[in-house]
Structure 1
């Protein structure tokens, strides 16, 4: 199947207002409760333990994308239930193959006594967590595809709240990296139980009975693995890699502060992506070329409305961020206020980029999006490595890295706005309904 046709099909299936509200509420309440549990987590676990756990989290977040090779995204764009089930089977087969290969590789590395970034049992738990995370995403997309947004919302809520609450529970009983890992693993297992609803069984049944068809399905839709997966992996790496990188190049304590701020800062971005981003995508797909002025005014209005809020938050963090962090999170977490201040400009520009990222899809600039994500990742790696080589203080390195990435994202934002205004080819609004 043609790649553009596959993406257009995925974009055409936009959720209804009711479905969108359920998904937004599920993620919103989940993140809110997870944030409320943060003061308990920071009193049960040290910054160093959070920094070590950041390596675990990065493995799960990034590797789970490769487990499915992004075929779960095709479930949303399938025109018929049969096609959706076909993609479920392809995604499940991909999970089984890659999970088995990753487990075998881990056993080989253990046998030859290779030094691993985590204890072998933690990496094994990360692979199992990847398995549950991938199956959960398939179940969520299947539920959305079949107008069962309530199931998707409950699974998202269970994943967010379950992981944090279980980490609190095991923090009292075990503590250390073990409590964080086991809480994460069991929370993802609980989310899969909510999301599955027989989806895995159906996928395995088709897998057993149609192996020849399955190979043909994979060959005809391999564009997802070749084009979509790298882009999603790059975007995910930009979110999850800073904490383990700071833990590796500087100190686990530095990684812990970055991991905590990322945990708190990702909440509003995710909620905005699942509400404002979805609504903007749907409307922009209809008027991107016929009413460009309205979109540009909307973007300008969004900046005018939200920039004063970001500035106010920045001033608050500048004046009293560290005392507030020490009071809310615990005395040893005071530096989180400085890290939050450093990352605020980056998070704000990433919020604006939620809309321009969708414009790149609508305008057909997929290579630009992949190139931009690659550039962001290279800059992040280069800045952290150079600061480490120069023996820069980790707090200064955090500020420099966040500032460079904020400028990089802002440049891409402005480029996409320019492309929107000067794009010469009208978009087929009948085929793009974000």
Structure 2
């Protein structure tokens, strides 16, 4: 037993997760501590506007780098990775410009289609959010490759400080959703500046010397499976994840969107505390193991089982006591957030334990398979929401959505593990 504990203490893998989790824990802890206050100074409609704005940011930001950020971790040489980083940053600037043009031309139409006229005034902040999120993603994976987990941890703390530091005081001024959306934008911007400063301060000479126009062009072509397959897959996945917000806004009311938004936001905190940190470290670990040994089946299987063990008890608690917990902490008007959470937690739990298999698919360049997977997932989820939205209530819509997500996650985990086992047997 003592030897096992000693090995854990000495494990770089565990230590890297702990470093990332410490920053995430502090940041997420602030979000949780602020939730009972925010739920009383903002109403569900305000959270509905935040949910729609955040959904738009999420959908666009996942393709802000055309998925080249994932390729930063893969090259054997750091010089090649630096050129991937430069390529990703250039693409982010291009995507920011495209977003600004779309907002300029279609701001009112977008808000109208989403059933929230108030949202239109906040869409001017969308290009800024895309710029911050895109650059952060690129710097995030560069830091992961270089094992700079401490600076990633620091940036996450600053993001939460920035978000809560704006949302709380502005909320007390009773100006509606401005505080929530403004805090979200400010938090992302601060995190990007902090991570960017640390990266530039420590590695500017190496990055500057490594960058070459010729290498950037070569990398752009050699890794074209990321924009060709990875971007559509990520876009579909993001749309699929955010379908409830758009469908609830279309079929029901902004208030229901707000109830869903807060439920999803709070459930993401404990699961995200581990999964975000774990994803960064496991992606680096799997890439490194694959480059050295070529076999990662055991690593992925153990990681999946470990995450399942960690998340099982929290899932049971929310499943049986969600409404009581939400009403007690947030107030009686948030009762249905707890009802939604009972269904959401099942899907989110499977998404949580799906982390190792999903990042493994990126390492083994299975983007075409994941793209097909996402196409079928979004078709099933969209059809389910349309039917339940027309004939049933919001609870039924979220329940069916979650069950479909759960089923597809199980299929993905089993399929990838089966592929890895066969790959290992054939390449012994």
1:54 deviates by: 1.1
Aligned equivalent of 1:262, options 264, 285, 289:
264
Counterpart residue number, 2:250: 248
TM-superposed CA distance for 1:340, in Å, is: 0.9
Say if 2:107 is the partner of 1:102: no
Q: Is the 8 A contact 2:50 2:181 kept in 1?
A: yes
Alignment-derived partner of residue 36 in structure 1: 33
Pairwise CA distance, 1:270: 2.4
Cα deviation, residue 56, structure 1: 0.5
2:157 corresponding residue in structure 1:
157
2:304·2:355 contact (CA, 8 Å) conserved in 1?
no
* Count of matched residue positions in the alignment of Structure 1 and Structure 2: 408
Pick closer, same or farther for the CA change 1:103–1:323 going to 2, 3 Å.
same
Shift of 1:101: 2.1
The CA distance in 1 between the partners of 2:405 and 2:108, in whole Å, is 40
For residues 398-417 of structure 1, what are the structure 2 equivalents within 5 Å? 398-417=398-417
Gap change, CA 1:218 and 1:35, over 3 Å in 2: same
User: Quick check: 1:384 aligned with 2:381?
Assistant: no
Residue equivalent to 1:193: 193
* Local SS of the residue matching 2:425: coil
Aligned to 1:325: 326
Measure, in 2, the Cα distance between the counterparts of 1:21 and 1:233.
Answer: 30
- TM-score (normalizing by structure 2): 0.81
Deviation, structure 1 residue 129? 1.0
Deviation at 1:90, TM superposition (A): 1.4
Change (3 A) 1:248 1:280: same
> Could you say what the CA RMSD is over the residues aligned between the two structures, in angstroms?
3.8
Q: In the alignment, does 2:48 pair up with 1:51?
A: yes
Once the two structures are superposed, residues 92-131 of structure 1 have per-residue CA deviations (whole angstroms, 9 ceiling, x without a partner) of 2212222112212322336999956454431120221111
Aligned to 2:355: 354
d(CA) in 1 for partners of 2:356 and 2:279? Answer: 6
Contact 2:384 2:401 in 1 (8 A): yes
Check conservation: 1:26, 1:154, Cα contact below 8 A. Answer: yes
| 1:3-82 to 2 correspondences below 5 Å | 16-82=13-79
Q: Distance in 2 between matches of 1:22 and 1:255?
A: 35
Query: Greater shift after overlay, 276-285 or 355-364?
Result: 276-285
CA drift at 1:57: 0.1
Mapped to 1, the partners of 2:423 and 2:20 lie a distance apart of 36
Name the CA shift for 1:216/1:120 in 2 (closer, same or farther; >3 Å): farther
CA distance in 2, matches of 1:269, 1:111: 36
Mark the runs of 5 or more structure 2 residues left unpaired by the alignment: 1-10
Stretch deviating more after TM superposition (108-117 or 94-103): 108-117
Counterpart CA distance in 2 for 1:145 and 1:81 is 9
Is 2:315 aligned against 1:310? yes
- The 3 A distance-change label for structure 1 pair 23 and 314 is same
Per-residue CA deviation, residues 241-283 of structure 1 (Å, 9 max, x unaligned), is 3223312222112211211111112223323324555676647
Alpha-carbon separation, structure 1, partners of 2:295 and 2:333? 55
Query: How much has 1:225 moved relative to structure 2?
Result: 1.4
CA shift, 1:290, in A, is: 7.7
TM-score by length of 1: 0.80
Which of 86, 90, 96 in structure 2 is aligned with 1:89? 86
2:24–2:277: 8 Å Cα contact kept in structure 1?
A: no
1:156, distance to aligned residue in structure 2 (A): 1.8
C-alpha distance after superposition, 1:400-426 (max 9, x if no partner): 2222322332333344455455x2653
Structure 1 residues 271 and 370, CA gap change in structure 2 (3 angstroms): farther
The 3 A distance-change label for structure 1 pair 233 and 32 is farther
- Is the 2:295–2:424 Cα contact (8 Å) retained in structure 1? no
> 1:179 corresponds to which residue?
179
| Contact 1:156/1:191, CA 8 A, preserved across alignment | yes
Structure 1 unaligned segments of length 5 or more: list them.
Answer: 1-13, 430-434
